[in-house]
Structure 1
Amino acid sequence: MARAAPGARRGNPLIEEMVIEDLGVISRTSVCLHPGLTVITGETGAGKTMLLTGLGLLMGGKADPASVRPGATRAVVEGRMHLPESSAAREIVHEAGGELDDDGSVVVVRSVAAEGRSRAHVGGRSVPQALLVDVAGELVTVHGQADQIRLRTPSRQRDALDAFAGKEHTGTLAEYRRTWHERADVERRIEDLTTHADERAREAEALRRGLAEIERVDPQPGEDADLTALVARLGNSEELRGAAQTAHLSLVGDESADTSESAVVSLDRARRALEQVADSDPEMSALARRLVEAEYMLNDVASDLAAYVDGLQADPGGLESAHARLAELTTLTRTYGESIDDVLAWASAAGLKLLDLDDDGAGLDALQERHAELDAELRRLADRVTEGRTRAARELDEAVSAELAGLAMTGARLSTAVEPADLSASGGDKIAMQLVPHPGAPPRPLGKGASGGELSRVMLAIEVALAATRGAHGGGPRTFVFDEVDAGVGGRAAVEVGRRLAQLAQRAQVIVVTHLAQVAAFADRQLVVAKDTTGGSTVTGVSEVTDDARVSELARMLSGQDDSSTALRHAHELLESSTVQP
């Protein structure tokens, strides 16, 4: 049997191994995955779907508590993935705090509780489920019946065409989308300015009135506090003068009264008395020095009190003026702040806000000018995107039609229409993939006329074409998972499906669940899922079959009997004829 040499495979597989515990009918099983084409086979109901469910959980798929094995508290799927150095997935893992092994592999664990939520861990760190989707998003492509349904939608068809168009086209498309979002942002700002123009005009007028009032009053920092103190002083001038005079006379005495003795005189007499005996006792000398200091201080206070009394004159006019000024300031503080300092701060902020509001007219003109520029740029980029899609549509139709001929759909061809549409975030085109089943037949939309088997083969043909393009430009998924890709096909068509899968596996890791021996014969490795019922309990296991065991499994798939000599001979023939060119 001839096989493409392992050296034809590129790089390490993305998914290297997987351990499943208590998932569906699987109690515990371990699966090693390799580069190239791996097929998963087994009797209906044996548990093949649970392997894909396990893979899906590692890829961030939805967790279903009902999938937990009866009697178990939780199901656990653990996998090891190899992340290419150039992939964004490594950066995602690092940002989440996960650790990669030296060879670039990372361990992913997903647990599903029978009652409760699921949990995910990447590189030893707990992460949200969505992170698994991000890690696997650009590296794994999963195809099942649901994906065939999605292929019927225009958006999925557009995505496939864009991927086929190559890096230059996807770069133009990314630039278009950036321009689209910038234009949308400018439109929102223009709408905000125009919709709220009246409101902004009222706000500007209120600011102008406030600034004019503050400018007329011309308050000074701290003026309200100073005026409050002045009003209190002028309003109580008589009481203040009397108190100051009494204090002054108490210190210096009343010259008109012969019997009075001032505090200063008394303090001076006390000092002299102490100085007379200071030589006899050092402590007495120290007390005398302190009295000298007190005498100096009393003289200073007496002088200040005399000056205060001289300066404190009744000023009814000044008091009235202070009251009037304070009333003006109070009017401002009632509206613009608790103090004049707050009022001045409001005026400063209001001036800047008014400049901003007055600039709205010029800003609106600038935004409208920018919108016109972006609109022209967007239409230019939309034309380039349309050109890229139109060119890619012709090339994709040719490539897929050639593949369909090899997939036992002779005469069938893909016809991809790129039709004009209103501009959107995805461009100005409407993509419609149609299948012409045979010469002379009218094109039928994939979403309406194609059968499940036809969709399976069209989908595979598109993936093979995309893989060839990605191989030429680099990048693209590292792993493809196909479930029921051979649905609705058989005979020679099944052989060609297997051949195309093997060709795809020359560029990527391909994992396929199949019930067709014609497909399984092309595999580099074949895993068989089998269940064993003992003691009233059913356990499913997975094992790799080689040599005679593989021939027997292929014979079972062909005839339902693994010991039929005819089926065994046919299985040998399938393996011998299942060849691909590197």
Structure 2
Amino acid sequence: MLRALDIRDILIIDHLELAFQPGLNVLTGETGAGKSILLDSLGFVLGWRGRAELVRQGADQGEVVAEFDLPKDHPARAVLLDAGLPEEDQLILRRVNTSDGRKTAWVNDRRCSGEVLRRLSDTLVELHGQHDDRGLLDPKGHRALLDAFGALNDLKSRTRTAWRAVAEAGKALSRAEAALQEVRTEEEFLRHAVTELDALDPQPGEDDALDARRRLMQQAERIREDILRAQAALGFEGAEGAAGDALRWLEGVADRAEGQLDEPIAALSRAMVELDEATQGVTRCLDGLTFNPLELEETEERLFAIRALARKHGVAPDDLASFATELRRKLAALDQGDADIAALRTALAQAQAEYDATADALTDARKEAADRLDHAVTAELAPLKMERAVFSTEITRSDPGPDGRDNVTFTVATNPGAPAGPLNKIASGGELSRFLLALKVCLTGTDSGLTMIFDEIDRGVGGATADAVGRRLAQLAGGGQVLVVTHSPQVAARGAHHWRVEKKVVHDITLSTVTPLSQPDRVDEIARMLSGDRITAEARAAAEALMAG
């Protein structure tokens, strides 16, 4: 609900502070007094696209602040949450337009974009008028309005779920078919490559091991002679034998050396152990250098085969095993592909059947809701002096989508036998206003916290018809808030709150002012609307009668 509107330096407004109330809020005034400027200002702070030049002449910038109350379940809270903006019970929108055209916006003192303002405005305000292409006159929104009227959200949600299932099943089938086709193009290569890899069976790390073994065998003959010399020098004919003799000689005389040989004997014993270990290591090395003369040839052949296969497939030798595993996986997918495709096609057919059933049910529900809406609007048209007009909700087939397979259009025929057509193409100004009002009365139960604004919706009607319009607007305002800009005294008389918009010249500067009216002032204003500039006692009496009725 709109609580307050603060306007500074916008067009011919220097500063206005307006406090709106629940119920029917009426704005009246002479043509050109500035009533449309108020709507322009509200549209500006809500991010609507409107006039390019808004800043009052001579001012550096114009500013509009709007304050709304947000109940706990108001849909604007979801927009705030999605945009990362503070979510509070009071929503304050502020937007500034500098004289050079720059626009800046804030939501609860946090900077935001014009797009966020527009998303918020869709949950806060609904504008209706003869040139309104955002609301009831826009056929793009008729299906959503019908769904809301028919309380079809659950069925529509099931349709959207079924549509997503169809889309996901279709994507899965497309991916599988594309993958299978890709594999089929390389089937011959895959089978040959897997056979070749399986025959060679390369293992991770085998390339390095074979290369090291090959180099060792190539060096064996050159190093074997020196290793044999070292073995002889270390053995019984060499160091080990000499050290053994020395140890025996020392041990034989140790008891006569008064302990002076104990330490040398211990050191020599340790050396004997180290010599033995060295001798064993050399022997093991010689054993390792002993190989079948054909082993070098076989090692080189396998090493070269592994490296050639790696080059052929453009992978590292150590990656051949994992490469073979991937090729086997592709072959398995190829062999299993036809069965998988068949299963995916069955899943898609099942998802499509579920969508078709749900979409058909949604179409049937829309047709039933359309019939109820047509009867409801027809009943509303009679008091508005349009009992001969025919309102019809047309449902036609459209391309399938998440919201079903229906196009919905509100059409009218203003006279029996006349062709039906879109609201804004068939109805005249006054007729269009009454059609919009009747439709809105029927749809109002679907709104959630919206402030409804009617811009001269009573244009072109008067007398009993204008009175019926006023009563319908008051009915709409009973459960929320309605702002109406009007020239009709019958409509103004139904207002719960009334403001007069005036244009004055102060120090050669034209300014627009808005004055809240007391009960006596309301009588005078409605009398002026009835009789013109000269307010007579008869006009006041008529105004009081209108207000009392």
- Normalising by structure 2, report the TM-score: 0.85
2:451 aligned partner, one-letter code: T
Match of 2:485 among 513, 519, 541: 513
Query: Residue deviations 1:528-567, cap 9 Å, x none?
Result: 3334433344443333112232233334434442645554
2:475 matched to 1:498?
Answer: no
Q: Judging changes above 3 Å, is the alpha-carbon distance between structure 1 residues 303 and 407 closer, same or farther for their aligned structure 2 residues?
A: same
* Correspondence for 2:387: 410
Q: Which range moves more in the overlay, 234-243 or 351-360?
A: 351-360
State how 1:67-86 maps to structure 2 within 5 Å. 67-86=54-73
| SS of aligned partner of 2:213 | helix
2:490 aligned partner, one-letter code: Q
Q: Which range moves more in the overlay, 494-503 or 72-81?
A: 72-81
Cα displacement (A) at 1:247: 5.5
Distance (whole Å) between structure 1 residues aligned to residue 188 and residue 125 of structure 2: 61
* Correspondence for 1:476: 448
| SS of aligned partner of 2:280 | helix
| SS of aligned partner of 1:406 | coil
Match of 1:227 among 172, 188, 210: 210
Q: Which range moves more in the overlay, 211-220 or 137-146?
A: 137-146
Contact 1:337/1:343, CA 8 A, preserved across alignment: no
Match of 1:557 among 529, 536, 540: 529
* Correspondence for 1:159: 144
* Correspondence for 1:129: 114
* Correspondence for 1:329: 306
Cα displacement (A) at 1:317: 1.5
Distance (whole Å) between structure 2 residues aligned to residue 288 and residue 404 of structure 1: 128
* Correspondence for 1:26: 13
Match of 1:39 among 26, 38, 47: 26
* Correspondence for 1:300: 277
Structure 2 alignment gaps of length 5 or more: none
| SS of aligned partner of 1:448 | helix
Distance (whole Å) between structure 2 residues aligned to residue 219 and residue 516 of structure 1: 94
Q: Judging changes above 3 Å, is the alpha-carbon distance between structure 1 residues 210 and 480 closer, same or farther for their aligned structure 2 residues?
A: farther
Q: Judging changes above 3 Å, is the alpha-carbon distance between structure 1 residues 306 and 99 closer, same or farther for their aligned structure 2 residues?
A: same
Match of 2:433 among 450, 456, 481: 456
| SS of aligned partner of 2:479 | coil
Cα displacement (A) at 1:330: 0.7
Contact 1:529/1:540, CA 8 A, preserved across alignment: yes
Match of 1:199 among 182, 185, 190: 182
State how 1:41-440 maps to structure 2 within 5 Å. 41-62=28-49, 66-101=53-88, 104-115=89-100, 118-147=103-132, 151-152=136-137, 154-165=139-150, 167=151, 169-194=152-177, 197-203=180-186, 205-245=188-228, 252=234, 255=237, 297=274, 299-313=276-290, 315-336=292-313, 338-419=315-396, 423-439=400-416
Aligned positions, number:
541
Distance (whole Å) between structure 1 residues aligned to residue 104 and residue 337 of structure 2: 51
Distance (whole Å) between structure 1 residues aligned to residue 379 and residue 196 of structure 2: 83
Give the aligned CA root-mean-square deviation in angstroms.
Answer: 3.8
Distance (whole Å) between structure 2 residues aligned to residue 534 and residue 374 of structure 1: 71
Query: Residue deviations 1:140-182, cap 9 Å, x none?
Result: 32223443586455443333322222x2x33223322332343
Q: Judging changes above 3 Å, is the alpha-carbon distance between structure 1 residues 353 and 571 closer, same or farther for their aligned structure 2 residues?
A: farther
Query: Residue deviations 1:239-290, cap 9 Å, x none?
Result: 33245456556x738948xxxx799969x99xx9xx999999xxxx8x9999
Match of 1:485 among 435, 457, 461: 457
Q: Which range moves more in the overlay, 388-397 or 126-135?
A: 126-135
Contact 1:64/1:112, CA 8 A, preserved across alignment: no
2:195 aligned partner, one-letter code: A
Q: Which range moves more in the overlay, 191-200 or 319-328?
A: 191-200
Q: Which range moves more in the overlay, 223-232 or 239-248?
A: 239-248
| SS of aligned partner of 1:236 | helix
Contact 2:130/2:432, CA 8 A, preserved across alignment: no
Cα displacement (A) at 1:216: 1.4
Contact 2:197/2:324, CA 8 A, preserved across alignment: yes
Q: Judging changes above 3 Å, is the alpha-carbon distance between structure 1 residues 480 and 240 closer, same or farther for their aligned structure 2 residues?
A: farther
* Correspondence for 1:580: none
Match of 1:524 among 496, 504, 511: 496
| SS of aligned partner of 2:425 | coil
Q: Judging changes above 3 Å, is the alpha-carbon distance between structure 1 residues 265 and 540 closer, same or farther for their aligned structure 2 residues?
A: farther
| SS of aligned partner of 1:66 | coil
| SS of aligned partner of 2:106 | strand
Q: What fraction of aligned residue pairs are identical, expressed as a percent?
A: 35
Q: Which range moves more in the overlay, 229-238 or 73-82?
A: 73-82
Distance (whole Å) between structure 1 residues aligned to residue 272 and residue 132 of structure 2: 104
* Correspondence for 1:572: 544
Q: Judging changes above 3 Å, is the alpha-carbon distance between structure 1 residues 441 and 98 closer, same or farther for their aligned structure 2 residues?
A: closer
1:500 aligned partner, one-letter code: R
Contact 2:413/2:426, CA 8 A, preserved across alignment: no
Query: Residue deviations 1:301-341, cap 9 Å, x none?
Result: 34312431343136541111111101121123224564343
Cα displacement (A) at 1:202: 1.8
Cα displacement (A) at 1:500: 0.8
Contact 2:24/2:481, CA 8 A, preserved across alignment: yes
Cα displacement (A) at 1:183: 2.1
Query: Residue deviations 1:364-412, cap 9 Å, x none?
Result: 2223223322333333233322322222222222221221121122322
Distance (whole Å) between structure 2 residues aligned to residue 96 and residue 337 of structure 1: 50
Distance (whole Å) between structure 1 residues aligned to residue 56 and residue 366 of structure 2: 48
Q: Judging changes above 3 Å, is the alpha-carbon distance between structure 1 residues 141 and 453 closer, same or farther for their aligned structure 2 residues?
A: same
Q: Which range moves more in the overlay, 517-526 or 376-385?
A: 376-385
* Correspondence for 2:519: 547
Query: Residue deviations 1:422-469, cap 9 Å, x none?
Result: 6454434444433232445454543532223222211111110112x4
Distance (whole Å) between structure 2 residues aligned to residue 216 and residue 234 of structure 1: 26
Distance (whole Å) between structure 2 residues aligned to residue 552 and residue 263 of structure 1: 138
- Normalising by structure 1, report the TM-score: 0.80
Distance (whole Å) between structure 1 residues aligned to residue 538 and residue 15 of structure 2: 35
Q: Judging changes above 3 Å, is the alpha-carbon distance between structure 1 residues 312 and 424 closer, same or farther for their aligned structure 2 residues?
A: closer
Contact 2:183/2:330, CA 8 A, preserved across alignment: no
